Amino acid sequence: MADYLKLLLLFGLGSIAGFINVNAGGGSALTLPILIFFGMEGVIANGTNRIAIFIQNLSAIASFHNLDVHQFKLSARLAIFTLPGAIIGALVATKINDEWFQRILGIIMFGIVLSIIISPNRKAEYNESKKEKRWLIYPLLFGIGFYGGFIQTGVGFLIIMALYHTLKIGMVRVNMHKVFIICIYTLPALIIFIWTGNVNWSYGLCLAAGMAFGAWWGAHVAVKKGEKAIRTILAFSIFVMSIKLLNLF
């Protein structure tokens, strides 16, 4: 395949992945395989994908900000707890076989689909006075940071599950916090992949352009269409990724 066709394909798939990532997660299930299909080793594809993930989430943050949907202080506090895990995860990314972990994750995803479908809408905003088990979010974020630093694929689902059920906030704000958290922990992970020489810049930047485009519009859909649209996209994305992780197709 000609190089310009590869770049066009990366931009197109990146746009779809960026849109999906902002509203749900699992976009890397599209981008990582195509990078590997183009001849990259897994670790280089993993590192190259981080360029796009970082820029995608910067775009989504800007879009949410323009729509006046942001809580930067809380987002930053949540993101800090993912950093140690993300650094450790990135450092061991090429040393651990994640085959069984992905299979377990696939089963977990089916459970998340059910919880998203049957859970009531969250209308209340975050309230500091409500302390009921909300401290659990911090150890959860450390573990999520490790997984995100290690493989990234599907981490959005885990963040949604943690924030939605622990902080008891609506899906629009869950996604707003999610893109900020991923943006913050992705930076040190990306630096580690760059430092170890596991990044293809031309493919990564082209993919990033597409994902930034998709993320910008994904944030608009999340805010304008609200909880119902996010739940629909989320349930579909998790279902498809669960089947993939369990090698059912």
d(CA 192, CA 104): 27
Share of the chain above pLDDT 90, in %: 43
What's the mean pLDDT in 207-228? Answer: 85
Res 129: pLDDT: 44
Q: How confident is the model at residue 31 (pLDDT cuts 50, 70, 90)?
A: confident
pLDDT band at 88 (very low <50, low <70, confident <90, very high): very high
As a whole number of angstroms, the distance between CA 210 and CA 201 comes to: 14
Q: Is the pLDDT of residue 16 over 60?
A: yes
Q: What is the mean pLDDT of the chain?
A: 82
- The conformational region for residue 26 under phi > 0 = left, psi -120 to 50 = alpha, else beta, is left
Using CA atoms, how far residue 226 sits from 73, 171, 219, in Å, is 23, 8, 10
Q: Is 247 left (phi over 0), alpha (psi -120 to 50) or beta?
A: left
d(CA 176, CA 186): 16
3-state secondary structure of 95: coil
Residue 195: how many other CB atoms lie within 10 Å: 11
Task: Report whether pLDDT(3) > 70.
Answer: yes
Residue 189 tokens read as 């992970």
Q: Distance between CA 69 and CA 64 in Å, rounded?
A: 5
Dump pLDDT digits (tens) for 124-148: 444 444 555 678 889 999 999 999 9
Rounded to an integer, what distance in angstroms lies between the CA atom of residue 119 and that of residue 125?
16
**pLDDT tens-digit map of 152-169:** 877 888 898 899 888 888
**Least confident range of 102-106, 131-135, 171-175:** 102-106
Query: From CA 173, how far away is CA 67, in angstroms rounded?
Result: 12
pTM of the predicted structure, to 2 decimals: 0.80
* Higher per-residue confidence, 87 vs 221: 87
Band the pLDDT of 122: cuts 50, 70, 90.
Answer: very low
Residue-level pLDDT at 126: 46
Mean pLDDT on 205-212: 95
Residues 6+ apart with CB under 8 A from 120: none
Question: pLDDT class for 87, splitting at 50, 70, 90?
Answer: very high
